[in-house]
Amino acid sequence: MLDWKQVMYRAVKGNPTPPSRRVERTLEEWRARLSPERFRVTRQAGTERPFSSDSCALFEAGIYQCACCETRLFDATTKFDSGTGWPSFSEPMDLAAVAYREDLAHGMTRIEASCAVCDAHLGHVFPDGPAPSRLRYCINAVALHKEA
């Protein structure tokens, strides 16, 4: 389990090797494979409107994958209601599946969370989550796909 200090270290110093093969496509290839909204969020670091998905209120067992490459990212057992309008998780399934980067956009400092396998923008991670990790992975629902 990572803590905030380790997340910050990875964001600044670098991330470990992804848990599986890299998936790399051109922007044109991603655009052809993804819906316009999914492309905007995952490939252009967009953000969906808060409360735009019913995923925030769903707490069924299961695994959440990257919507772009199907890498397993989050287990539903770590999902919680943060009240923010985006699905929130307290930790990734595999510590190397999520990559971190300092995000200085919009006049603030945040830590971006992305898929370590295909670089899809997922959302951001914050140090205000529940114990024991105290992390809140605030993830765009459109960046995720729940495994069947």
138 catalytically annotated:
yes
Phi, psi of 103 (to 5 degrees): -115, 110
Catalytic member of 56, 69, 118, 138: 138
Cis peptide leading into residue 132 (ω within 30°): yes
Query: What Å distances lie between residue 147 and 15, 45, 47, 70, CA to CA?
Result: 25, 23, 22, 9
- One-letter amino acid for residue 69 of the chain: C
Cβ-contact 133, 53 below 8 angstroms:
no
Closest residue by Cα to residue 69 from 107, 16, 118: 118
**What distance in Å separates the CA atoms of residue 101 and residue 130, rounded to the nearest whole number?**
22
Positions marked catalytic: 138
